Amino acid sequence: MWPGAPTVLLVGLILAQSTQTQDCRQAPPGTPEPQPPPSAGTPPAADVFTTQDGARIRVDVVATNLEVPWSMAFAPDGRLFVTERPGRVRILDLAATTSQLALTLEDTFTQGEAGALGLALDPDFGASRLVYVFYTARSGGSVVNRLVRYREVGGRLAERVVLLDDVPASTIHDGGRIRFGPDGLLYVSTGDASSQQLSQNLGSLAGKILRLNRDGTSARGNPFGSPVYTYGHRNPQGFDWHPATRQLWASEHGPTGNDEINLIRQGANYGWPSIQGAAATAGMETPVAFFDPAIAPSGASFYRGRVVPQFENNLFVATLRGEHLLRLRLDAAGARIVAQERLMDQRYGRIRDVVMGPDGLLYFCTNNRDGRGIPETADDQIARLAPG
């Protein structure tokens, strides 16, 4: 056990706290403004909330006492793999209500926003048992971000292989999300590592979205003959592919506001630090939506289930400063946001990641113990959204 690590408690009872309001942040032309929030005289029930389009949802807390969980990924057998930023990977069996410490990263650098970040399971995990982790490591007298691969054996991660090393790192803006795309390739988001100029430098891996083969090599067809897939990013921390169109969408932190939702196109330049928000210039992408004041968007996932029909093909984004789960409803073509909604606003604190479970439900984790939140006794938590 990691020294001082909390005992993770998995719970079977429902501990529901939620409310519902709507997003009224600034947006670029063409992005719809959400409707005003409901009046104070008609609040939703304490244990459930009702969405704008009538879905009744309850919040079930399934695990407590984690320490800054950053990324979550479900295995085909239903176990939930979770990184904790101080340098751990846990495996939670929600059905059996058990938690197992699978890995301790002894060389993790954990100051500021750095630490154990992204996690992804191989698309063939059922056969290969391969697990990928992106973390900030001490390296000599400096720090780097590093992509490593392990094999899960009996609930432990072993057979370590470093796939990508020396990605610029800092105490802020490390990006860190990793995820396999529908093409079977591994995508990695990196921040500018507090050096803005690196985002526009195609010779640097900072401020980019990378596309890699499963062995860490540059994917064939990448636009610059390197791992770089897109550039000009500040600190992207969430992305996922539309279930129908397979178009890649991403969330990104702005400097002081101007947080972004972007459609990701191969080879495109997303403008940082030259432009932000609604600003436009030739050869640089303007976001589909932006938010000012800041909401600090992090993990993002499309809903692919059938349990909540109203959520079909909606994009959900965890927000840290915003302290809500942002729901984005798209048009039939999956190319334009037609409605925004803030779920569980100010009820669970800072939300870091949101993923789909094999049961067709959404799961999210809080980050109230990251030094910027106000933790309660049970924090940090993992919870799911289920029909109410």
Sign of the alpha-carbon torsion through 210, 266, 312, 342: positive
Phi, psi of 128 (to 5 degrees): -85, -30
**Extended beta strands in 169-252, E state:** 178-180, 186-189, 208-212, 228-231, 236-241, 248-252
pLDDT band of residue 8 (cuts 50, 70, 90) is confident
Question: Any idea which of 5-14, 62-71, 284-293 has the lowest mean pLDDT?
Answer: 5-14
Distance of alpha carbon 105 from alpha carbon 179, whole angstroms:
20
Across residues 303-327, what is the average pLDDT? 98
Distance of alpha carbon 70 from alpha carbon 337, whole angstroms:
27
Distance of alpha carbon 62 from alpha carbon 82, whole angstroms:
13
**Domains in the chain and their CATH numbers?**
17-387 (2.120.10.30)
Bond preceding residue 380 cis, omega within 30 of 0:
yes
What are the C-alpha distances in Å from 104 to residues 107, 116, 156, 179? 9, 10, 10, 21
The encoded tokens of residue 19 equal 């409310």
The encoded tokens of residue 119 equal 């996690």
Taking alpha carbons only, the member of 290, 184, 181 closest to residue 240 is 181
pLDDT at 12: 55
Distance of alpha carbon 102 from alpha carbon 1, whole angstroms:
10
Kind and range of the H or E run holding 34: none
pLDDT in tens, 135-178: 999 999 999 999 999 999 999 999 999 999 999 999 999 999 99
Strand-strand pairing, 248-252 and 236-241: antiparallel
pLDDT in tens, 216-272: 999 999 999 999 999 999 999 999 999 999 999 999 999 999 999 999 999 999 999
Kind and range of the H or E run holding 318: strand 315-319
